[in-house]
Amino acid sequence: MQVPRWVHRPLAQCLTPVAHNQQRLFFSRPKFLPTLVFAAKSPVSRPSQLLSSLGRLMHLPSSLTSPRSFTTSASFHGFHGSRRSEAEILQEHLGEGGKWGFVVYRTTYGDDDGWNRVKETIQASSMRGLKAPDLASSLDWVFMDDKDTLDGISRPELRRLFREWAHEAFKREGHRHRRMQIPETVQDSPEAEPRTVYRTVPMLGANSRYIFFIEVDAESLRSIVYDRDPSDPWDLGHVNFINSEWEPQGPPESEEERLAMLDDEPLPPIDGCTDEDVGWMKLKTSSLGISFHLAATYYVEDTWHYDYKRPPAIVDWT
C-alpha cells in the first residue's frame, strides 16, 4: 500500500512538541489559539520514537509511523477502505470558506523583474497537477512587498510582523476549528468515585496558513530566477519556509541535561542560534503543491521535526 508522506501525522494530532532534547519533550499550541499543554511522563529522545511507540500500541504498520518508510501517492486508502484524494482531504480540513496558500515576504530589493518571476513560479508550482476547481478557487497566496519595512529585515522581526497579520487574518477569514473530545477525570466530592467526562475543545491543529510563512531573500530569488537548470522542470530553486511559533531552545534546565548536551557537536550559528532547529528551512519551490500543504497542516501538531533539515540543506517534497 502506498501512503502519502503526511499520513503518519494524524497519530500526532493530540501532541504538539515545540521543544525537545535528549531528556524532555514538551507540547503546547500556537500562541494566539486556545492553549492546552501536555508533558511526556517519561523521557523521549525524539518525537519519531514517540510516534513509533504509538503505532506499536495501536498495531499499525510501520509504513504509517516511520517518517522514513513512506512514499508519496495521489490518494490514500483509509482505514475503512475508502479512497480519498489529497484534494478531498485538504478541502475537508479547510472547511467551508477556508483558504490555503502562504504569506510570502519579499526581503530583497533592486530586481523587480526577478520578483515578478518568483511570484509566477510559486503560483504555478502550487497549481501543478491540481484538478479540483473548488480547491483551486480557495488558493490564496499573499505576497508582501514593502521595501521600507521589509528590505533586509531580520527573521525575528519578520516573525513578529507575520504573527500580527495571522492574528487578524485568522479572525477575518473565518477559519473553522476542527473539534475533538478529550477525557477528563473529575471527582464531585471527596467521598465520590472519580468519573470520566469528555470536553469538546478546538482540535490541536489549525490551518498552517496562520503558523508558517515564506521568505524570499536574495539567495532564494537568485536560485529561482537565475541559477536553475532550464532543462529540468522540477528545478525551481528554493524558498525559506519559516515557523512563526519557533523559539530558541535555551540553556539546559538541569545538570543532567547539561551533561547530556556535552556530547553534541557544536553547530555553526544561524541567525545567532546554534540549536539544531533554527526555526526555518530551505524548501524547494517545486514542493509547494497540495502534498506539502497537507504536510504543513500537520506541522501545526508538530511533525515539523520529521522533515526539518538545518540550512544550508534543502528539503525536497517533490
pLDDT at 170: 81
Task: Give the DSSP H/E element, type plus range, for residue 9.
Answer: none
Residue 134 lies in a domain: yes
Q: Give residue 271's domain range.
A: 9-315
- Of the candidates 50, 55, 122, which has an alpha carbon nearest to the alpha carbon of residue 293? 122
Pairwise CA distance, residues 77 & 62, whole Å: 16
Task: Give the DSSP H/E element, type plus range, for residue 111.
Answer: none
Mean pLDDT for the stretch of residues 309-318: 93
- Residue 287 and residue 315 in contact, taking contact as beta carbons nearer than 8 Å: yes
Q: Which is more confident, 163 or 7? A: 163
For the stretch 141-163, pLDDT in tens is 999 999 999 999 999 999 999 99
Pairwise CA distance, residues 226 & 223, whole Å: 6
Task: Give the DSSP H/E element, type plus range, for residue 132.
Answer: none
pLDDT band at 53 (very low <50, low <70, confident <90, very high): very low
DSSP-assigned beta bridge partners for residue 202: 179
**Structural domains counted in the chain:** 1
Mean pLDDT for the stretch of residues 79-96: 69
For the stretch 99-114, pLDDT in tens is 899 999 999 999 999 9
pLDDT reading at 224 higher than 70: yes
Pairwise CA distance, residues 28 & 17, whole Å: 7
Residue 300 lies in a domain: yes
- The proportion of the chain whose per-residue pLDDT surpasses 70, expressed as a percent, equals 65
Instruction: Give just the sign of the alpha carbon dihedral 16, 21, 25, 30.
Output: negative
Residue 56 lies in a domain: yes
Q: How many CA atoms lie within 13 A of 155 on its CB side?
A: 23
CA distances from residue 122 to 85, 154, 221 in whole angstroms, order as listed: 22, 23, 11
Residue 88 lies in a domain: yes
- Structural Rg of the chain based on CA atoms: 21
DSSP-assigned beta bridge partners for residue 75: 85
Residues 6+ apart with CB under 8 A from 43: 22, 23, 24, 25
Residue 2 lies in a domain: no
pLDDT reading at 60 higher than 50: no
Residue 69 lies in a domain: yes
Residue 4 lies in a domain: no
Please report where in the chains the cell 553547530 appears, as a residue. 267
Residue 162 lies in a domain: yes
Burial letters 146-175, b for 16+ CB under 10 A, else e: eeeebeebebeebbebbbebbeebbeeeeb
pLDDT at 265: 78
Pairwise CA distance, residues 277 & 19, whole Å: 10
